[in-house]
Every structure is written in structure tokens, then in C-alpha cells.
Structure 1
Amino acid sequence: MPHADSLILTLVGGFVLAFVFGMAANRLKLSPLVGYLVAGIVVGPHTAGFVADTELAPQLAEIGVILLMFGVGLHFSPADLMKVRKVAVPGALVQIGAATALGWALGRLLGMGDLEAALMGFALSVASTVVLLRALEERRQVKGEIGGIAVGWLIVEDLVIVIALVMLPLLIVQPGQALGAAELAKSIGWTLGKVAVFVGAMLFIGPRVLPWVLVRIAHTKSRELFTLGVLAIALGIAWVAYAMFHSFALGAFLAGLVLNSSPLGHNAAERSLPLRDAFAVLFFVSVGMLFDPSILVREPLTVLGILGIVIVGKALAALAITFAFKLDKPTSLTIAASLAQIGEFSFILAALGVSLGALSQQTHDLILAAALLSISLNPFVFALTDRLGGKPKPPAPPTAQPVKLIDVV
């Protein structure tokens, strides 16, 4: 492929096929994410026909990750999380631990080392925020108690992932490069110190500077400049975070979190939404390009085992937690169904594991196969939970008041 047109061909192939397969998935009552992943498989190197630029696509996907995390920060509400903290915080942490343990146990049975098995389990523990929000929106449950707990649960998982993306490069080193206990503790302490300074500066200086910048840009009354300003803030802060501790995710999340508290936060979210959606599509397409679909034929039982952890194991763990907190049956079943899938952050963790040499390409493909199948099956999981009593009963109509007859004199 000529270098001069590789970007254009990658964008055209990615967007056109993502639209076609996304529409097909939507007609089949599946998440469009399934279509985007299939589009990536079609243009990837593991299938015949046109092959997109496999070196350029991951860079475009990185922009998608930045904008996804920026969007998470823009929609993160500490006040909403505090309302459901008694359930969401321990629930998310226990569920992550349970899923990681199940993944580790299966990985050990498959002959993986402890590190690879644990990282696979950790990747399987994180549900997709995109899939969850779409399912709750279709059921009109985003604003209710069920939606509040489910979204708060996912927010805690997202925060854990942000921390993991910063810490994993320190904890996972190449063979022959292992650090001593003192050196490792020093490296972790230094990184955590930089993270603390960065977060403190963002939370202290950011609310005083970034809203002021947005107001000044808004006074120009130029939609283009406002959109560019929002993107410049998101990408710029993400780059600073990457330069300090090799994590685009934390900087983008904090940028969104600061702007969310500003008077123009809602406008910032609206302006960034189209580009966020576009690059998120490219992110899923690039993930599909890295997936070798032959794993479904070569390792069908292993795929089923991993899928069982995602759908059955995580759902049962969520049910046990919610029942322990004495939530009602519809709420417990809905949260369990919401978490019975994995998505974008599992892809990010899997890619990071491969780049660090902690995951093999086969394990990466197994995680992607479980994600693709779990997202496809999630509507059927919700349908099953509805049959088991997961759908809240509609409120009873108000009783008619007896009409009093008044004599007119």
C-alpha cells in the first residue's frame, strides 16, 4: 500500500465498513459495537481482501482511547457516586476480585503462568460502559435507582482501570530486567508521587484555569474554536500525563472531570461527542483488525470457558453481592445482566499486556473472542433476567377518588 494514501484508505475502509456492519448489527437487535469489531476483522490481516494499515490503526485507536476516557470524565459525577457508594464501591471491588480469581484459575488449568493468568482474569472483570449505558437507555433505567447503582459500579471499575494502566508497566517487566524489592518500591513510590502531584494540580489549578479558558473561547462565538479548544485541552493534558507516567488515560479522564464541574461542561461534552464517537468507532475497528477469528475454531472449548466466566461467573458474583446488600430482585438481576459482558477497557488491558510481554497473542485473541461473543449475547442475557423477574413492575395506576355530588342551591 502506498504510504501517501494509507491514512485515507484506512479511514475510508474503517468508517464505511463499520457503518455497514454496525447497521446490520442494529437490525439484528445487537450492539453496533459487534458490527464495528466485525468490520475490523474484515479489513484485518487475518482475512482475505483489502487490508488496512495495521501500523497506523493503533495510533488512531489511541486517540479513541483518549476521547473515551475524556468522555468518562465528562460524565463522572462524584455526587452521583456518593449516593450509591455503599453498594457500588465494595460491589465493584469484590466483583473484580472474583472475576480475576476465576480467570486466574482457568488460565492455570490452561497452562498459563501466574502473571498471564491473573492479567487475563483482570481483563475479564471489566464491563463495557458503552454497552451498559446502551442497554439501560433502551430499558429507560438510566435515571432510576437501578441505573444509578449500575453506572456507579462501572465508574468504580473505570477508576480501577485508570490506576491499573498507570501501575502495570511498573509491575510487569521484561525477563532479565527484574527489579529488586527496594528498586521496585522506589519506582512505584516515585510514580505514585508524580501521579499525586499531577492529580492535585489538576484538581486545584484545573477548576480555576480551564473554565476561564473555555469562557474566553466561548466569547468568540465561534463553534469551531470552542470545539478545537475542548479537543486541545483533552489531548494536551493527556499528552502531559503520558510524558510524566506513560498514561494517556489518566490525563484525559482528569481533563473531562475538571471540565464537567465547569459551567460550560455540558457544552464541552456536546462539542466533543461527534469526534469521540468517530474515533471510538476506529478504536473498535482497530481492535477487530488485531483479532484472529480462527481462534474460535482452534480453541472452541477454551473460548466457551472464558465466555462462561464473563457471562455466568460475573453475573453470579454480582447477584451474590447485591443480595448481600439486600437489594430487590429486579435491581439485582439487572445489575448482574449489565455486568455480564466485557468491552473497551478489556481491549486496552489486553493490548497493554501484549506490549509488555505479559500476554501471548493467543490469550489476547481469547479475550477478544469473549468480548465479541459476550456483547452479542448481552441482549439475550437481559431477556433471560426479565423472564426471571428482572424487569421492574410498572407502577400501579392511581386509584380513582370518589366524586362527591354537591347540591346547587
Structure 2
Amino acid sequence: MILLVDIQSFYASVEKARNPELKHRPVVVSGDPNRRSGVILAACPIAKSYGIKNAETLWEAMQACPEVVVVRPRMDLYLKISLQITEILERFTDLVEPYSIDEQFLDVTGSERLFGDCDTISRKIQQAILEEAGVYARVGIGPNKVLSKMACDNFAKKQKRGIFRLDETNIKEKLWPLPIGDCFGVGRRMTKNLQRIGITTIGELAQYPLAKLQKHWGINGHVLWMTANGIDLSPVTRLSFQKQKAIGHHMTLPRDYRTAEEIEVILLELCEEVCRRVRRHHLAGVTLHVGCRGADFDCPTGFSRQQNLGYAQNETMPIFQAAKQLFHQYWDGAPIRSLGISLGGLSADSPMQLDLFTDRSKQRALGQVVDEIKQRYGSTAILHAASLTSAGLAIERAKKIGGHYR
């Protein structure tokens, strides 16, 4: 039996647990409380009762509830609490798989003799997390990960008890009547695509001819059909993040970047960050991906392209030169608002492919020294001079975790 444990309004709940004065007040966590255009990262249940939703602007939230309390995010604290919750869950089973900062899967198949049935284990988990971390957990129960996820999202979150079980005995009665947009893995665009061919509920997706779904969307169509039928063969494992297919970094820019010189500064900082992470895992990548999004949201522009580097690399400057060339090959010259790169085709960085024209051993040694300095003294202890220009963001980003201030 698989559980999906989700923390209610995680960021806002942590803030209320740390400040009892906020217990009965509407609270939202906003990326930038000083700007009315800031985005709501989390809203407590009281705030949601006023119609406030995650991802809307702070201005919209304050229109709906003028007395709302706005709190700046503290990512260090949220990560600490998330790890504390993981430790609590590991008392019940050694098979705990983090899905996000506030969601974790557990396989408790072998734990029922010790702690009781799934319902009993779920209540014990809720109680332990509430007593020790001060936040409330909802629990979805199912025979696999996809059903436990949909049990939590569609039912446990909407019930006072916060626990719901979804399996072959009630999937047709409970899950199939729901709108197609409530199916895990179906976003807004896919919802429209499915509605276009007459699929409006999860049950209609489950009963739709599989061959036709495969013809429309290939493997993705097959996976959606399996999801609607409650089929998921992926196990709960602690190894989910130990073997990465790619390592990348994407950045939404604070303003429109218009010139090649400005954009190249950000591209260099991204290459430095990605290569540092790749080196930290003793890996190298052979596939470089570069993508950007234009600044005009009404008329979206941008591209997403990749190229083979010839051999696995993790040195910053050669990868930066390749990324710069790839960017200029496809950039239309319009201002951009986001930029990202990634290295794929990862393999062990030893042995190293030699180059007749470049001393790669010196480049690699330089990268190791830079990494050691940053590891010891902080990510801003040594910088490229370009990061000190007005276009550079490395110093400001060092103050943040996941794009938000620590």
C-alpha cells in the first residue's frame, strides 16, 4: 500500500506555526511583499476562504482581502521542516520518496504488522507531523503512486478528515466521474486537446480506445490511459534523484534583456552554475540544451534547441562558448525574459577524453579550484568580472534558494 503525504499550504502553515499571533489571521507568502505585482506562493486556508489563490498577484490578493498578512518566504526554514517531516515518515517505513518540498510517497506494505492498517498509519503520521512540525498533513492511500496522488489531490484535500483511499473498489464510482482536468498528468493544454475529441471526464479517458490515444499522442497517450485506469508500475524508491538524466538551470530575469552583451552575461553565469553542479557529482555531459522565452507574453517567442558536444565535458568556458554559439544561431533578436541551459547525456567524468588542440587537464584543474573556493567561502567568493556589470545576477541569486530569498 502506497501513501502520498501532502502538507496543507506548506509555506503559509510553517509561518503560522512559528508565529502564534497569525493563527486566526489570513496569511499569504509572497515572493516580494514590497511589490504589489509579487506572486502568491502559498495561502493559508483562511486566506483561501476569501478567494485568494496560489500564483495570483499580491495586488489581486489584497483586493480580495485587504487585511491579509503578507510574509516574505524563508526557503532555508521550509527546507529544514521538509527534511524534519522526511525523518518522521522514515519511522514508519524505509521506503520514503520525496516528490516535492511538501509531498512525499511512502510504501507501507511491510509496515502494517507494526503500526496497523493504512488508515491507522495515516492518522499516526498526521498526529506526529502536527505535534512535531506544527503543520497539518493530508494523506492519499492507494495500491500505487498515481492513485495515492489522485486520492490526495481530489479527495483528501477536500475532506475534513484529510485521509482518503482510492483503489479498484471505488475508482469507477469516485474517480471516473471527475472532470478530465482532475486527472494526474493532464494540464490545461491537454485538457483542451482531450475535450476536442469528446473526452470530458476521467472515466471517458479510461474507456477510450487505447489505439486512438496512441495514434494522437504516442507514449504519452498510453500513459494517460493507464493513469485514468489506475495503473502505475513505478515503485516507491529512495533512488529517484541519485541517477539524473540531465542537470540544468533556468532563470526568469528581473527585467527585459535586450542586447547580446547582457544576455551573454547571464548565459555565462548559468554555464558556471550548471558545470559546478555537474562537477560536484563527478559527471560530464555530451548534450547541451539552450532555451529562452521572449519578453512579450501576448505574442510568445523563444526557442529550445540542443546540440551534441562531441564528447562529455564539464568545463565552464568551452560549454559557454558552445552555448553562446547555439543561442545566437536561433535567437531572433527580440528581448528575452527567461533563459536556461542544461547538460544531458551524463556519464562519469573519469577517464577524460583528450583533445589535440586544448589542454583539458588545465581547464579541469581550474574548475576544481574555483569549486573549492566557492564551497569554502561561498558562491560569491570568486566571480567572473562580467557578473559585476549591471546585467549580472550572480550576487543577488546567492541570497536566494529556488529563486526566493533565504
Whether TM exceeds 0.5 here: the answer is no
**TM-score calculated relative to the size of structure 2:** 0.22
- Please identify which structure carries the higher strand content: 2
**TM-score of the superposition, structure 1-length normalised?**
0.22
